[in-house]
């Protein structure tokens, strides 16, 4: 663990995410205000003792909305990474391990998914099924599958003919056993890196969709939607837009830095072997 | 030639899969698609008409083939919302999106290459960590936040660039460039961070190779080794990332066009989602993926021209 904290990227990522988790936890234990309590008399307040991060254009407490919005971003990111991992990794593993026709087909399917730029797949699904938190998770999961598949494919491909695997095979181990027990531990580090980077991009995509009004739907608050609502008040009260923007950046950057840090430590460990 | 035909076949297969996915997603609407599209208020006559134009009574395979046939021949039907030919709508908006993408790509390379070289040259110095954190920041800022901040600075405070309104290049080239500068910058900053990262990794990999050790051991300076030898080899893989960047730029333009109200594909997609103009979205999605596949194919070919060592594995 020590070598991870010596890495600047990991350290910063860890600090950023701890900060977000503390804010979310605080909101979980003691949410200052009802997130949808409108109070027109107290609209667009600056940072005060009662409203630590001020209030928005309807007089709702920004801190409370940030707490719940960050929690939703984290929840969506978590589901996307878990489902993306569970679906993408086996697909990539089979492609890389068995090779041949299976590999070619899966590779082409992954290429196809990558041919839809950015949030396009998500937009397509939302156009058909409508915007909801569940549909966002499904759409972003589909977008994350290629990342895990590509990573797993590369890993299994590079290990499948290594001497220790051939020896295990000669001893009569089944393909399933080799894939799960013998190869998986060697690529779990890389998959952890992919998970962290996928988390970052899921949060980013969700914020973008919510900004367009096609993501998380009211009454649930979301950081992206807060930015779009605050846009009109950028001169009157710049902090209204800056606060949710900073939270998105800290969240995304936290996971990007964490993934990068883990990646560097793994690479260094491999070189030292 | 074998390389060329293999890549062409690959691109065609990808396109085929992409068209199936696009077709299928819009055909798994629960219930009667005509009802879903037109809403509960639609009359029986309207429903019948739509079922007829959508060929809902024929098999899925037949509908897929006729849909692809329509797309190839440029007949994309009529948009429900705009009541005009989908093909005219797409032709108008794709010009904006393509111009925005080209601008963004140029800006991306103009930012990424100098910054990437700076990062590489500082790799052993203390200033490397803040520089690499800066590139991480560029990657983590959502394009819409960046766009709003740029508007706040350049439009509201400095009053030098417009934030809204698109002018065609042929009407007024100068205004056209000005109106696209902020949107393309909001896309380019994120995209260039990815290129910088990739360039950095590519250089680090080259630095571990034997020829670099040899170059140092015969007494060549750091400068000569880095700029004359390492960089040439490191830049080749960077070309492949341009393909990935194109997808990123197109994806970014979907969101950024909405911030700046540019009449491009992205704006058209989001407004047709709100109005549930499904045939229009379907065609737009397919066209965007077509662009990505074509660009990737061209890059594969370019890659081979630049570095003839590349073989099919």
> Domain coordinates of chain B in residue numbers?
90-270
Kindly tell me if the per-residue pLDDT of B162 is higher than 80: no
- What band does A82 get if pLDDT is binned at 50, 70 and 90? very high
pLDDT of B130: 83
Per residue in A115-127, pLDDT (tens digit) is 888 788 888 888 8
Cα–Cα dist A221/A218, whole Å: 6
- Per-residue burial over B28-64, b if 16 or more Cβ lie within 10 Å, else e, is eeeeebbeebbeeeeeeeebeebeeebeeeeeeeebe
Q: What is the mean pLDDT of chain B?
A: 81
3-state secondary structure A171-209: CCCCHHHHHHHHHHHHHHHHHHHHHHHHHHHHHHHHHHH
For residues B291-300, average pLDDT = 87
Region of poorest pLDDT, from A28-37, B11-20, B48-57:
B48-57
Instruction: Give the range with max mean pLDDT: A26-35, B181-190, B282-291.
Output: B181-190
Q: How many A×B Cβ pairs under 8 Å? A: 137
CA distance B260 to chain A (A): 12
In whole angstroms, give the CA distance from residue A68 to residue A27.
7
Q: What is the pLDDT of residues A151-163, one digit of tens each?
A: 999 999 988 888 8
CATH 3.40.1360.10 fits B90-270, yes or no: no
Sequence length of chain A is 273
Rg (chain B; Cα; Å):
24
Of A126, A124, A120, A204, residue with least CA distance to B291:
A120
Which chain A residue has the Cα nearest residue B272? Answer: A127
The mean pLDDT of A150-176, rounded to a whole number, is 89
pLDDT at B120: 81
Q: Judge whether A207 and A73 are in contact, CB under 8 Å.
A: yes
A156 to A98, A120, A162, A264, A265: CA distances (angstroms): 9, 30, 10, 20, 21
Identify all chain B residues contacting A253, using CB atoms and an 8 Å cutoff: 136-137, 139-140
Q: Do B137 and A253 touch (CB under 8 A)?
A: yes
Record: contact B140-A204, CB cut-off 8 A: yes
Distance from CA of A127 to the nearest CA of B (A): 5
Q: How confident is the model at residue B72 (pLDDT cuts 50, 70, 90)?
A: confident
Output DSSP code: residue A47. Answer: S
Distances (CA, A) of A103 to A85, A93, A150, A151, B98: 18, 10, 11, 14, 34
Mean pLDDT value across residues A226-242: 87
Mean local confidence (pLDDT), B299-313 = 70
Residue A72 vs residue A7, higher pLDDT: A72
* Chain A residues 240-269 with CB within 8 Å of chain B: 241, 245, 248-249, 252-253, 256-257, 260
How confident is residue B40, by pLDDT bands cut at 50, 70 and 90? Answer: low
Look up the ipTM and state it: 0.87
CA-to-CA distance for A30 and A259, rounded, in angstroms?
31
- Check if A119 contacts B (Cβ < 8 Å): yes
Please, which residues have CB within 8 angstroms of residue A211's CB and are 6 or more apart in sequence?
A224, A225, A227, A228, B142, B144, B255
| Predicted model pTM | 0.89
Q: B105-145, pLDDT tens digit by residue?
A: 999 989 988 888 888 888 777 778 888 888 889 889 999 99
Contact list, A257 vs chain B (CB under 8 Å): 133, 136
| SS3 (DSSP) at B276 | coil
């Amino acid at each position: 663990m020590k070598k991870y904290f010596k890495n600047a990227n990991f350290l910063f990522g860890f600090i950023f995410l701890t900060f977000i988790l503390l804010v979310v936890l605080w909101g979980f234990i003691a949410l200052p205000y009802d997130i949808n309590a409108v109070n027109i008399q107290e609209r667009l307040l600056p940072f005060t003792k009662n409203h630590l991060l001020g209030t928005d254009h309807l007089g709702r407490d920004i801190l409370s909305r940030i707490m719940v919005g960050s929690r939703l971003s984290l929840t969506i990111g978590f589901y996307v990474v878990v489902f993306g991992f569970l679906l993408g990794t086996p697909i990539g593993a089979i492609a890389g391990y068995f090779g041949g026709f299976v590999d070619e087909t899966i590779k082409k399917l992954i290429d196809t998914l990558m041919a839809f730029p950015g949030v396009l797949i998500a937009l397509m699904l939302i156009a058909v099924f409508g915007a909801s938190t569940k549909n966002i998770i499904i759409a972003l999961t589909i977008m994350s599958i290629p990342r895990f598949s590509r990573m797993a494919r590369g890993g299994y491909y590079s290990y499948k003919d290594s001497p220790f695997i051939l020896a295990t095979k000669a001893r009569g181990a089944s393909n399933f056993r080799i894939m799960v027990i013998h190869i998986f531990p060697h690529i779990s580090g890389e998959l952890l890196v992919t998970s962290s980077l996928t988390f970052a991009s899921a949060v980013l995509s969700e914020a973008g969709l919510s900004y367009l009004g096609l993501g998380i739907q009211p009454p649930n608050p979301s950081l992206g939607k807060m930015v779009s609502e605050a846009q009109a008040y950028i001169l009157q009260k710049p902090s209204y837009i800056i606060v949710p923007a900073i939270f998105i950046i800290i969240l995304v950057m936290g996971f990007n830095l964490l993934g990068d840090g883990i990646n560097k430590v793994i690479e260094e460990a491999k070189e030292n072997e | 030639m074998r390389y060329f035909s293999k890549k062409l076949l690959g691109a065609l297969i990808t396109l085929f899969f992409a068209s199936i996915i696009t077709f299928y997603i819009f055909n798994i609407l629960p219930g009667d698609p005509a009802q879903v599209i037109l809403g509960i208020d639609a009359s029986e006559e309207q429903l019948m008409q739509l079922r007829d134009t959508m060929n809902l009574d024929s098999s899925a395979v037949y509908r897929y083939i006729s849909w692809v046939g329509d797309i190839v021949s440029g007949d994309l039907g009529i948009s429900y919302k705009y009541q005009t030919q989908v093909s005219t709508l797409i032709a108008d908006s794709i010009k904006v999106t393509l111009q925005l993408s080209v601008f963004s790509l140029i800006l991306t390379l103009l930012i990424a290459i100098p910054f990437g070289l700076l990062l590489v040259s500082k790799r052993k110095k203390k200033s490397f960590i803040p520089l690499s954190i800066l590139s991480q920041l560029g990657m983590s800022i959502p394009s819409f936040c960046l766009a709003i901040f740029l508007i706040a600075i350049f439009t509201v405070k400095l009053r030098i660039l417009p934030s809204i309104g698109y002018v065609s290049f042929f009407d007024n080239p100068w205004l056209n460039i000005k109106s696209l500068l902020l949107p393309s910058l909001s896309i380019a900053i994120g995209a260039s961070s990815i290129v910088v990262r990739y360039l950095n990794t590519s250089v680090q990999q080259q630095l571990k190779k034997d020829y670099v050790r040899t170059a140092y051991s015969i007494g060549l300076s750091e400068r000569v080794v880095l700029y004359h030898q390492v960089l040439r080899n490191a830049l080749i893989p960077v070309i492949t990332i341009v393909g990935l960047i194109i997808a990123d730029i197109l994806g970014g333009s979907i969101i950024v066009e909405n911030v700046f109200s540019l009449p491009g594909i992205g704006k058209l997609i989001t407004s047709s989602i709100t109005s549930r103009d499904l045939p229009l979205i379907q065609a737009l999605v397919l066209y965007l993926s077509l662009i990505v596949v074509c660009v990737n194919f061209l890059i594969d070919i370019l890659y081979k021209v630049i570095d003839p060592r590349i073989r099919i594995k």
